[in-house]
Amino acid sequence: MKALILVGGFGTRLRPLTLTLPKPLVEFANKPMIYHQVKALAAAGVTDIVLAVNYRPEIMTEALQKYEKEFNVRIEFSVETEPLGTAGPLKLAEKILGKDDTPFFVLNSDVICEYPFNELAEFHRQHGQEGTIIVTKVEEPSKYGVIVHKHDHPSRIDRFVEKPIEFVGNRINAGIYIFNPSVLKRIELRPTSIEQETFPAICKDGQLHSFDLEGFWMDVGQPKDFLAGTCLYLSSLTKKNSKELTPVSEPFVYGGNVLMDPSAKVGKNCRIGPNVTIGPNVVIGDGVRLQRCVLLSGSKVKDHAWVKSTIVGWNSSVGRWARLENVTVLGDDVAIGDEVYVNGGSILPHKTIKQNVDVPAIIM
């Protein structure tokens, strides 16, 4: 089977992390976001994956080459010279996606869930029409594409409204699709949006269906949702009794849902959890309290620091008795001084912070 992952765009909403790495390479649960998707696609029998890239392609190529071997798949880079939006990249990859008449998957690169590719393909095959999109329910639908059904059919989509201003429903596009190659005939090679142009056109012909997602889902393309998605993902690992999680018998684990790279070091009398991921080579001092946070590789949290709802970027350090909370994000190589308080700060790479950040702010 074939798949295309949309990995373009500048990931501006995930700054300052995306100032250092393209969004798909930012580690979610200690692995680049895109790793989770390639792994799930390979497990579902996909052998040809197209990565639709327009931003820093060279760094993506390097990272992805290893996955070809690891998952025994072919990964082809389809590089746009100008951003082609969310539909144009499908046309650009027509040679691969349309090489035979079997359907292909399309994924947004920032969505996390249990990826039910096999079930989706089976459902799509059964209704026999042009496209199927995975849908999920959310409380705040205005940030997403919303789908509307008529009462006469359980899965045929009547209308697709991207980022509605007025409430039209709470079932949204989860950013995972399967299409018959015939959809490529509808798309022109130019910057064009699948949500604004292609979906409404397929709906009009009554050829677009929805497939309800079971379990958790999150678009982790912004810090608040990245943290929320981390909690959901870790909870799903706990539910599955995953061996990847740090055992709750470890004296520092508090409330479970802790995922720690084996190379990380933890000091004495720490309380860590629930919902914490700790990347490779992280060093945590003594008496540290961590909850609902993500520590990326090489970062350091010094003695007695208190960190909650925070992403600590690569190689950053948090000073002794410092307190970070309220969706604080430290970019690469940030230093937070001893006893400093940061409330919802977004700190750009390589900064040293010696003064408190009392109200949410971007510090550059």
Touching Mg ion, residues 95-154 (CB under 5 A):
110
Touching ligand GDD, residues 165-194 (CB under 6 A):
172-173, 175
Can you spell out the DSSP letters for 248-290?
TTSTTB-SS-EEE-TT-EE-TT-EE-SSEEE-TT-EE-TT-EE
Smallest distance, ligand GDD to C-beta of residue 200, A: 12
> Can you list the positions of beta strands (E) in 279-360?
283-284, 289-295, 300-301, 306-312, 317-318, 323-325, 328-330, 335-336, 341-343, 345-347, 352-353
Pairing of strands 276-278, 289-295: parallel
Per CB under 6 A, 109 contacts ligand GDD? yes
Phi, psi of 291 (to 5 degrees): -145, 145
Given the rule CB under 6 A, which of 107-115, 148-156, 246-254, 333-341 is the region that contacts ligand GDD? 107-115
Smallest distance, ligand GDD to C-beta of residue 306, A: 32
Per CB under 6 A, 225 contacts ligand GDD? no
Pick 22 or 221: Cβ nearer Mg ion: 221
What the block records as the tokens of 305 is 């620091």
Q: Which residues contact 153 (CB under 8 A, 6 or more apart)?
A: none
Per CB under 6 A, 85 contacts ligand GDD? yes
b/e sequence 130-160, b meaning 16+ C-beta within 10 Å:
bbbbbbbebeebeebbbbebeeeeebbbebb
Pick 86 or 180: Cβ nearer ligand GDD: 86
Per CB under 6 A, 76 contacts ligand GDD? no
Given the rule CB under 5 A, which of 91-99, 148-156, 216-224, 287-295 is the region that contacts Mg ion? 216-224
Smallest distance, Mg ion to C-beta of residue 205, A: 27
Q: Where are the alpha helices (DSSP H) in the chain?
A: 33-43, 57-71, 88-92, 94-97, 117-127, 199-204, 223-239
Query: Of residues 95, 99, 163, 185, which has the active-site annotation?
Result: 163
Count residues binding ligand GDD (CB under 6 A).
26
Any catalytic annotation for residue 66? Answer: no
Per CB under 6 A, 6 contacts ligand GDD? yes
Which residues would be at the binding site for Mg ion (CB under 5 A)?
110, 219, 221
Which residues would be at the binding site for ligand GDD (CB under 6 A)?
6-9, 52-54, 80, 83-86, 89, 108-111, 144-145, 162, 172-173, 175, 195, 219, 221
Give the active site residues. Answer: 163
